A and B are shown apart, each in its own frame.
Chain A
Amino acid sequence: EVQLVQSGAEVKKPGESLKISCKGSGYSFTNNWIAWVRQMPGKGLEWMGIIYPGDSDTRYSPSFQGQVTFSADKSINTAYLQWSGLKASDTAIYFCARRYSSGGSAYFDYWGQGTLVTVSS
């Protein structure tokens, strides 16, 4: 069974750093892109970017370029999203999702449960 399990909720202060994780199981983790998606309180979904765990090739949405960093450790089937200096506006739920391609289409077929990040002084 394919699963993406994310790390637990975090409460941080502005300026602090943070790294959250997304662990995949039940499939070949290195052969599928992993996306990160932000959902601010009461708002819609925003694509942050994508990483290929096999070689850590990374693509960032222009809105998030320079604001966050993606990484992956293929030895433990885990992808990471990190911030070096959090802001209150980073308060949101962050989802990871597996990108799957079939018949010329690509889509996010499995999602993590989400990690709530709260940034408050």
Chain B
Amino acid sequence: EIVLTQSPGTLSLSPGERATLSCRASQSVSSKNIVWYQQKPGQAPRLLIYGASSRATGIPDRFSGSGSGTDFTLTISRLEPEDLAVYYCQQYGTSLTFGGGTKVEIK
């Protein structure tokens, strides 16, 4: 099973700052198989990024994804107060696993 390790566990930043979230896989994963979700408090997860770097419909361009092999990154270029959420990466190689999540707090 491929294990996804997300870091940091919690990120506390001010509005307008840049957030960089990391997702590291225990073995190489095709970029096509990397997905990012946002889960706001009390809500269902929401698709943000698929194929490591393609934004889902309606997602603001301040969200971007990158990476290859074992290291993937979600970047929020300018934090907004509504970006308060937990962000999960997911892979679906031979099986499907989620990372443990990164909580983004707004100062």
Interface residues of A (CB under 8 A from B): 35, 37, 44-47, 50, 61-62, 95, 97, 102-109, 111-114
Contact = CB atoms under 8 A, between A and B. Distances in A.
Interface in B19-51: 32-33, 35, 37, 39, 44-47, 50-51
B66 interface: no
B67 interface: no
Contacts of A109: 47, 56
A42 to B, nearest CB: 11
Interface residues of B, number: 25
Interface string B73-97: 0000000000000101010100111
Contacts of B88: 44-45
Contacts, number: 59
User: Which residue, of A50, A108, A112, A114, has the highest number of chain B Cβ atoms within 10 A?
Assistant: A108
Contacts of B37: 45, 108
B51 A103 contact: yes
Interface of B: 1, 32-33, 35, 37, 39, 44-47, 50-51, 54, 56, 86, 88, 90, 92, 95-101
Given A105-B50, A107-B50, A44 B101 contact: yes
Contacts of A102: 50
Nearest to B49: A107
